[in-house]
Amino acid sequence: MVSKLNTAGRTKDRSRELFGVVLKDKTGAIRPDQPWTFGRPTLQAQGNGRSYWSRGTAVLSTHQKGSTGWVAELIGGVQTAWDDAAEMYLPVNEMPLLDLQVGTTMWSWFQAATQLSGVGMVIWVHDPADFDKRAEITMLAETGHMELGAGWNAHELADGNDCIWYGENTGTHSVTATQGAPYDFSKFLADDVFSKYTIYRLSWAHGFQTGGSDYKAAYLADVKINGIQIPLYPDVQRFRKTVNTQKTLDANGAYTAEDVMSESPTNTVGTDWDFNFGASGKIVQAVIASETTGLTAEVDLYLFSRPPTSQPESGTPHLLSLA
């Protein structure tokens, strides 16, 4: 959990506030005796959306930004009924909405393709004395102030950003009276209801549109709130890596049970697939999938930490050995 550095009563021993990280016990539980402002980001997806932690790569230049080398890969998917999206959630410890600063709150992302909208921010607020009263204030990511082109994009929170809100039990408002109607962000700060609310979560979303557009990946790399850089990385360093590869596979003669399929029809010269995961660790699950609809087959995937030194043969149980 990331927190503001506490300078009050500071001693020479700064180990408890190094980088503003709240300490955890051996089980990974948060120690509540330590104050915090922002928590660790987590990923979420709705409908056709998908979200993964990925390592930045030189192929898409996604390694160029971000303090950790990790990016939140947000794939909105096919947009059907305003409920397909990929999101990143950032817990917030009851920060007053009035404390969210324009100009020093910003984020950047890389889009694989131009879409109808960019990556917008949602501000989740509630009455700190009554959790029945809550709302989300959503930035309209498809309006003119938001970048949405292929390649790198960035946005800085501004007073004039168009936002809408939906919520429950918020009562009568002096300024932002109508749910679903657009208001400048500054209007929410002036409203007699929202000006008293606190933020319990911030999120960034790619999607929430309609009309059938297929939202490709957006890679969220930088997030700064009130001038504080938020490190982006997966919880306990677990992440999913999708490796796209293409090989022409043939069998030795007609396809039969226990056939070995490789790049060579004689099944003697096939090469292994090398995957660069961008990190070290333990693989807990691996799945291989074929996009062809012309063949239904059961496929065994063998994983090795280095290339095998023998080739399998057709019609026999498949055992590969390492040197």
Query: DSSP secondary-structure letter at 62?
Result: T
Is there a contact between 48 and 80 (Cβ–Cβ < 8 Å)? yes
Instruction: Check residue 26 and give its pLDDT.
Output: 46
Bridge partners, 51 (sequence order): 74
Total residue count of the chain as it appears in this document:
323
DSSP for 172-213, please give it: --SS--STT--EEHHHHHHSTTGGG-EEEEEEEEEE--BSS-
- Rounded Cα distance between 162 and 174, Å, is 18
- Rounded Cα distance between 210 and 79, Å, is 5
Please state which CATH number belongs to domain 37-237: 2.60.120
Alpha helices in 50-203 (DSSP H): 185-190
Phi, psi of 237 (to 5 degrees): 55, 35
Q: Provide the residue type at 111 as one letter.
A: Q
- Rounded Cα distance between 199 and 223, Å, is 16
Is there a contact between 106 and 222 (Cβ–Cβ < 8 Å)? yes
- Rounded Cα distance between 273 and 53, Å, is 22
pLDDT in tens, the chain (323 residues): 443 434 444 444 333 333 344 444 444 444 555 688 999 999 988 888 889 898 888 878 888 898 898 999 999 888 888 888 999 999 999 999 999 999 999 999 999 888 888 899 999 999 999 999 999 999 888 766 778 888 999 999 999 888 999 999 999 999 999 999 999 999 999 999 999 999 999 999 998 888 888 888 999 999 999 999 999 988 755 555 555 556 666 655 666 666 666 565 554 545 566 655 545 566 666 666 665 556 566 666 666 666 666 555 544 444 444 33
Which token pair is 306?
């280095």
Is there a contact between 118 and 148 (Cβ–Cβ < 8 Å)? yes
Q: Domain ranges for the chain, please list them.
A: 1-36, 37-237, 243-323
Instruction: Check residue 251 and give its pLDDT.
Output: 58
H and E: helices and strands count for the chain: 1, 13
Instruction: Check residue 274 and give its pLDDT.
Output: 60
Q: Provide the residue type at 74 as one letter.
A: L
